[in-house]
Structures are given as C-alpha cells and as structure tokens.
Structure 1
Amino acid sequence: MGLISLLWGIVAMLWMVLALIPVIGITNWLLIPFAAVGALIAAIGIALTSREKRGRAKTGLLLNGLVIVVAVVRLSMFGGLL
C-alpha cells in the first residue's frame, strides 16, 4: 500500500505541475479527487502496516495532501475557471 500511494503521489505531483499552466488549470477539478484517493490509500497503508514500514505510506500521504492543498488554492485564486 505504501508503494502504491507513493507512486500515486508522484503521478499527482506531475499532474499538478501540468495543471499550473493557465489553460490547463481546469484539470484541477479532476486532480483533487485523484489525489484524495491516493491519500486514502496512504492512510489505509499507514493503518495496516507495522511501525517500521510506514515511510512510503507517510510520504505518499504528504505528497497527495500537498497536491490537494495546491490545487484548492489554485482553483480559489481564479474562481475555479482557469
């Protein structure tokens, strides 16, 4: 679960960088649920693994959470249009 959430977070981060382009910014509406699913997978990974093996899941949770925050801020700046 940790590896899946980490890879999901990397893909979400790359998508976020692409969504910072003004014309493509509308894709943030799809990016937020995508990153939320990655954060959910990471949370499940944290809950189900032992304390020593939580690093990847925590990193995935951090990446997906950061993507969600940036996407929400980006949408709120222009009223969700750009």
Structure 2
Amino acid sequence: MDIFDRDSKLREIITAADRHPDRSDERPHIIPRLEKSLVKVGSLYGRAVEYTPSYGHIEWYESYGSYRIEWFTAIPIKRIKQKD
C-alpha cells in the first residue's frame, strides 16, 4: 500500500503539521494515539493530535465522512471529560 493512498490520513497530517501558524512557538508535543483527548472547538468535536503552548492540532471527521485536521489557538479548545 502506498503511504499516500487517497484513503490514508498521513498526507493530511503531514500537510497540516506544515501549516502551523506560529513557527516561533515551541516544537509540537505529539500525543500518543491511545491518549488523544476528546475536545470541542466551538461546535466542532474532535481529538487532539499534538499541541504547543499556544495551539492545538485537532483531527475530526466532517458530517459527510471526510477526514480533517487543523491547528486552532489554544483558548477556544475545551477538553471533554469521558464518562467511565
């Protein structure tokens, strides 16, 4: 399988990482796959992939199933507590 298979998320992750809005912010801390927190940004629900002191890298699926990943400023990102 080609790592850039059109159904693969790797291409979106790499290009989104290159779009970090502030290169002077610290190097991003990657969150291990099984520890990704459920978060809310406005009306969007997703999972935190990595973070810096000022930004969060969030992944989510659109209502029609398309995968998205983007950087958001840290202030509007709210962690959602999961029920046990």
Q: Which has the higher contact order (CA 8 A, sep 6+)?
A: 1
Of Structure 1 and Structure 2, the greater helix share is in: 1
TM-score tier after normalising by the smaller chain length: under 0.3
What is the TM-score of this pair, normalised by structure 2?
0.26
What is the TM-score of this pair, normalised by structure 1?
0.26
